[in-house]
Chains A and B, each alone.
Chain A
Amino acid sequence: MSITAFPPVTRQAPPLHPRGSGGANVAGIEPRSPSASTSGVWIGIFAITMSFAAFTSALFVRQGSGDWIHVVLPRLVYMNTGVLLLSSLTLEMSRRAFAGAPKGNAGALRRSVLWLGITLVFGFAFVAGQYQVWKQLAAQGLYLATTSNSSFLYVLTGVHALHVLGGIAGLLRLLARMTRKQITLPMSSVANTAIYWHFMGILWLYLLLVITVRL
């Protein structure tokens, strides 16, 4: 191919272009979603949903084999559920306090940090509670490979707990950034972490339903 240098195109003012299917001209373009991080969280949530849909489908297919012995869930599971749901509530309190705190409003910020701390305590309590549930199941003689039901139970709760730990890491990061002297924490970071954390709660409710009905 021959490489020819064309004279530079004269830069003219009018940006309007009747031809071209690109839709509106520059002036008419709507602002897009406010933050890539928010999109990122939702895309991540979508991927996690797909993974758990895959686990659930596997469970339904596997149930067809017939070797299905129902597991009696330890009561602690329901307490853990309560703790996780409460943590969503406290995180929401923290988010609202942070949103309601105009610059320099130390009281609102303190409230936000306090609620965040409580959320973290609940978060850790949930994971510790799930660990206790596994220990109680093991005490009944139900291990990962004992029955097909116990296999799914450990896999679903284990993978969920891993995702909750990821959420806890996010909360710890928020706490660290909220307690600095110079706070440069954008509201969207708090909101995005909250979206993820609430999703962990919703996902858990779904899993609990699957576990109680199917396992």
Chain B
Amino acid sequence: MQEPSVQPAHVHAPPEGFLRKHVFSLDHKVIGKQYYGLGLLAVFIGMVLSWLMRFHLVWPTVSVPGLEFLSKVGAPGGVITPEYYLSLMTMHGTLMVFFVLTNAPFAGFGNYFLPIQLGAEDMAFPRFNMMSFWVTFVAFLVLITTFFIPDGPPISGWTAYAPLSAVGNDAGPGLGWGQSLWAISIAIFCIGQLLGSLNFIATTLDLRTKGMTLMRMPACTWAWFITACIGLMAFAVLLPACLLLILDKLAGTSFFIPSGLVVGDKLQPHAGGSPLLWQHMFWFFGHPEVYIAILPAMGIVTHVLVTSMRKPMLSAKVIIYSIMSIGFLSWLVWGHHMFVSGMNPFSSLLFSFPTLTITIPATIVTLIWLGSLYGANIQINSASLFALGFISMFVSGGISGFFLAQPSIDIYLHATYFVVGHFHMVMGVAAIFGIFSGTYFWYPKMTGRMMNETLGKLHFWFSFIGTYCIFMPFHYLGLIGNVRRYSTFVDDFMAPYLPVHKFISIAAFITGAGQFIFLFNLFYSRFRGKQAPANPWNATSLEWSIPSPPPWDNFGGKHPVVYHDAYQYGVKGSLGDYVMQDSPETILEE
């Protein structure tokens, strides 16, 4: 039987011309960078939106210069209206979850490094790969368009709960074409992600080079593979959900709009729809989406930490099995977002158990990281600092999950800042720390230049302290009863806690400003950074066996042969303290 890894069926010719090289490239490395770039653009817009929201929360009557040009109705004289606050919130959530947390750690780094770490010269379907990015880019443009239409962006949040999202303009601004474009954008995004996931899975199954058994794959490759499996199922459900929402909005069907619904003194011409149906379909995607964001970061952190520790993890295998279990359990827990939706209380119990169970593999992974760190002579650099920061965020944000997983406690905490603090730390900032860690680690490979370490460390401390200053107080506010999605708290029972909000807002401005250190480092190092050798971190996986940056066909037309597990560090008797995966050197059992 033909061995596909030796003669891959899908090899494209060397790229020629500007368009083929940099725009409509079939090269997985260029596509990975494009995804990363799109994530960077989206995170910048998302961060500015969060600044505007934080500003409005504490200075609700103060004008933001220039904002009236973005929306005359939403920000007359530069002062944000309560409705426009909700629009900004919707766009912040949508951009961050879809275009940042899905794009950068999974599609960005995954595209760039998965084929190289497997010893392949490209993805299994390079054309699908190119399509998946450009489809995602179109989805991004459609979403951003909502800022510039008279209707404005939708006000229904990134979860677009029906019937609010389905009834149209009667229910508020942004719910007409704004909401329709939102649904169309997300549907297009789903198609892009499905194509991407298909590619990741087929590549991992079929294009591994000789000797690269499944258990020899690096932890991040495993994480991308499992994430792709989750993505394939999750986006295949969100796509039909969006289609039904679009039909409710544009074709007059009643999938999600119930009978007798009166909005704005108008009886809605719909009958029999089920708002809960949207929640089920959305969260069946939405909860796995959390793992689509976090699992690649867990893989990257494992990869970076083990390299910095110069010794193997206590058990890299158990980390992989735990990530698999998390992936599997992620399908059984979606109802924990719906404890107060009015569904049967027994269902809540049924969703509560697997939710608590999922903390077991998550804890195992964390304990393996911590146990491996014990006694390790860890090399502190920007990449490993962000990896350690990830663990800190993951633990701090994860612990509040224990409380929220229990229906009786969640009834009190639901829709408060406690939940907002929880998910921002555990999936938002933690995943972003994973992206940062990966960036500082792989930048030399991707560009051939080293990033500036001093700026990197400065960036870390800004981000790390800043994140705690912003999101820890969220938990306390939530416990007091501070509900989310309110645009101001000036004349209600929350007024005494306004100083806490002020503290958070100022911390958000400073932490956000600190990110420009990263942005500067990213561009400055590209041209002025120190030249990077092929393997600056003395790492073992295949991406470090080729030049920095890699040639277009990765391994120069050859196919590497893999002899070892991914992480042979601290090997006694070896010439170095590590043995690369493609080194035929014999490693003797101690």
Contact = CB atoms under 8 A, between A and B. Distances in A.
A170 to B, nearest CB: 14
B3 A144 contact: no
A40 B253 contact: no
B2 A43 contact: no
B247 interface: yes
B508 to A, nearest CB: 31
A75 B96 CA distance: 50
Interface stretch (A48-56, A86-94, A193-201): A48-56
B9 A144 contact: no
Contact of B565 (A8, A20, A155, A159): A20
Contact of B205 (A6, A21, A33): A33
Interface residues of B, number: 80
Contact of A47 (B9, B194, B379): B194
B276 to A, nearest CB: 7
Q: By CB atoms of chain A within 10 A, which of B10, B202, B255 has the most?
A: B202
B588 A34 contact: no
Interface string A1-41: 10111111111111111111111111001011111110110
A91 B566 CA distance: 45
A36 B129 CA distance: 14
Question: For chain A, which range describes its interface: under 10, 10 to 19, 20 to 34, or 35 or more residues?
Answer: 35 or more
Contacts of B537: 1
B233 interface: yes
A155 B247 contact: yes
Contact of A16 (B213, B232, B259, B586): B586
Interface string B199-243: 001110111101101011000000000000000110011011101
Interface string B313-348: 000010000000000000000000000000000000
Contacts of A64: 274
A29 B562 CA distance: 11
Contacts of A10: 575, 585
Contact of A144 (B205, B216, B247, B284): B247
B584 A11 contact: yes
Nearest to B2: A34
B4 A9 contact: no
Given A19-B588, A20-B568, A62-B273, A39 B202 contact: yes
B437 to A, nearest CB: 14
B213 A23 contact: yes
A65 B561 contact: no
Given A36-B125, A145-B252, A50 B237 contact: yes
A43 B575 contact: no
A132 B187 CA distance: 28
Contacts of A21: 215, 317, 565
Contacts of B271: 67, 148
A36 B583 contact: no
Contact of B4 (A23, A32, A40, A67): A32
A40 B124 contact: yes
B198 interface: yes
B576 interface: yes
Contacts of A74: none
A58 interface: yes
B438 to A, nearest CB: 16
A183 to B, nearest CB: 17
A4 B272 contact: no
B385 to A, nearest CB: 11
B452 interface: no
B584 A65 contact: no
A170 B206 CA distance: 22
Interface in B517-571: 533, 536-538, 561-565, 568
A65 B588 contact: no
Contacts of B124: 36-37, 39-40
B574 interface: yes
Contacts of B308: 1
Contact of A155 (B3, B244, B580): B244
A145 B536 CA distance: 62
18 contacts: A6-B575, A7-B575, A9-B574, A9-B579, A20-B565, A23-B215, A31-B1, A33-B205, A36-B9, A36-B125, A36-B207, A40-B124, A46-B232, A54-B284, A61-B277, A145-B254, A148-B255, A148-B272
Interface of B: 1-5, 8-10, 124-125, 194, 197-198, 201-203, 205-208, 210-211, 213, 215-216, 232-233, 236-237, 239-241, 243-244, 247, 251-255, 258-259, 271-274, 276-277, 280-281, 284, 308, 317, 379-381, 453, 533, 536-538, 561-565, 568, 574-576, 579-580, 583-590
